[in-house]
Amino acid sequence: MAYGGYSYIDKKYEPKDDDFIVLFWLDGHAPVEKLAEAVASESSVGTWTKISTMKSKVFRLYRARIFKIIKVTKDSGFVYMAYPYEHFDDKNVMQLFAGVLGNLFGLKELEDCYVLDVKLPERYQRQFKGPGAGIKGIRRYVGTTKSKRPHVGTIVKPKVGLTPKEFADVAYKAWLGGLDLVKDDENLVDQKFCPWKDRFDRVANTLDRVEAKTGEKKLYATNITDSNIERMIERLEHVKDSGMKMVMLDVFILGTPTVMKIVDEARKAKLFVHAHRAGYAAHHRGNFGINFGIYEKFWRLVGVDQLHIGTGVGKMEGGALLINHFHRIAEDYHIPEKFYLGSLGETWWKKIKPILSVASGGMDPGKVEAAVAIHGKNVVIQAGGGVHGHPGGTLAGARALRQAADAIAEGISPAKYAKTHKELRDAIKTWGYVDPDTVKAKFAFEKGMKRKMLEWMVLKKGLKGIRAIWEEL
Ligand code: 3PG
């Protein structure tokens, strides 16, 4: 079943270690084999018709090979493709995106086209430096290497609108209450009511005062996102010259080349990079889309140090199994292949350091224990509303969040800890408590025979089945 005169299906093909493997969900107006041929052609060497310039050498060396199809209906299914290493430029992520995440989405015979995963060969990974600091580096700086407690932070709210002085006052209370991190929101950079430099200088000054008072190291993730790269670099240099340690980037919005440039500059300046993923969901949630985990792999590869990945218990999409999978992409060296999650797995090259996952979006102190059941302790738990909405205000909200993290470090349930810690108790009274056993039950369900049930559901329902598992478990 050829497309444009050539066939890309080769079920006998055994992928090589150096191949890039891509997993697609396809549905459309033609048998799935034909859809797969179209995608393989458009994303590698072919076009809609036979061409006189297609040398047999080109087709043999550089084409994508469809080595497995798992049909769900006649016209839909999961398609596994292998792309030869030589198909892609060295260290040019955008050329890879233009191929496997590019033109194919526009093919008119497709009704669904979702790229579930891209597996990156070690040889490719070796061209990148990965994070400069990652989990170990940030923990060392904050002083939590021994305690291994989750880091806690806040996003100053309202998202925009405060003056630099008001912003710095909120930051002061948040740090004084015990938070490790204060950050700008994704849509705050340099508005007239809160110019970046004025805000930054005031917050830097506040940070010095709080560190002197508390004896703890604090971080401020200042959003330097801008359409003008020179301006971003000027801000980064100002951060370095002020002796501060972190910059924040809206990584999806900025695009990979800008992120790579700024990460390089940050690495030279010994600054950590906090990555906000705003905008990712435009790709991740549709029937034509790209899974967030793919972006996440590239962001770890190019070297951000901590990254928003969702929570599993808060306001953003994604249930426990999916967010745990994203967490593993951030922290682990070996991520398992799980068909029912759309995961091909991954093995990171040993020099690509683990990064901190950031659990953010609708968090509050009563959700910390459940979030830790999903992410583990190598996580930054961030709450905006869940700190500044505390009945006692920002200072009490910050105390409550830190108390929850301290409880985890001491091996005590925050629910129990709340009996002797008023701020935490008030937070739980306000927003309730998410029982971590509800999360643990989902992981227990995943195990053993239940795994087969999940696979069966995906084989019956295709992408809809995977989405149900992503959301409900
Ligand atoms: C984020 O940056 O993740 C959000 O601003 C989180 O805000 P929230 O804690 O109030 O949901």
Domains identified in the chain and CATH numbers:
20-125 (3.30.70.150), 134-438 (3.20.20.110)
| Helix/strand/coil for 56 | helix
What integer pLDDT is reported at residue 212 of this predicted model? 98
How far does CA 160 lie from the centroid of its chain?
24
**pTM, full prediction:** 0.97
Q: Is 157 in the active site?
A: yes
What integer pLDDT is reported at residue 153 of this predicted model? 98
Identify which of 152, 155, 306, 357 to mutate to test ligand 1's pocket (most ligand atoms within 8 A of the CB): 155
- Which residues does ligand 1 sit against, CB inside 6 Å? 155, 157, 185-186, 276, 308, 315, 360-363, 383-386
pLDDT in tens, 191-207: 999 999 999 999 999 99
Residue of 99, 81, 87 lying closest to 123 (CA atoms): 87
Q: Is 461 in the active site?
A: no
What integer pLDDT is reported at residue 99 of this predicted model? 94
What integer pLDDT is reported at residue 300 of this predicted model? 98
pLDDT in tens, 389-446: 999 999 999 999 999 999 999 999 999 999 999 999 999 999 999 999 999 999 999 9
Closest ligand 1 atom number to CA of residue 387: 9
pLDDT in tens, 314-362: 999 999 999 999 999 999 999 999 999 999 999 999 999 999 999 999 9
Distance 84 CA to ligand 1 centre (A): 41
Distance 246 CA to ligand 1 centre (A): 18
Please list the ranges in the chain whose pLDDT falls under 50.
none
Distance (Å) of CA 365 to CA 155, 356, 434, 456: 14, 19, 10, 37
What integer pLDDT is reported at residue 238 of this predicted model? 98
Distance 275 CA to ligand 1 centre (A): 13
Identify which of 185, 252, 380 to mutate to test ligand 1's pocket (most ligand atoms within 8 A of the CB): 185
Considering only CA atoms, which residue is closest to atom 8 of ligand 1? Answer: 384
Residue of 53, 60, 42 lying closest to 3 (CA atoms): 42
What integer pLDDT is reported at residue 242 of this predicted model? 98
Average pLDDT, the chain: 97
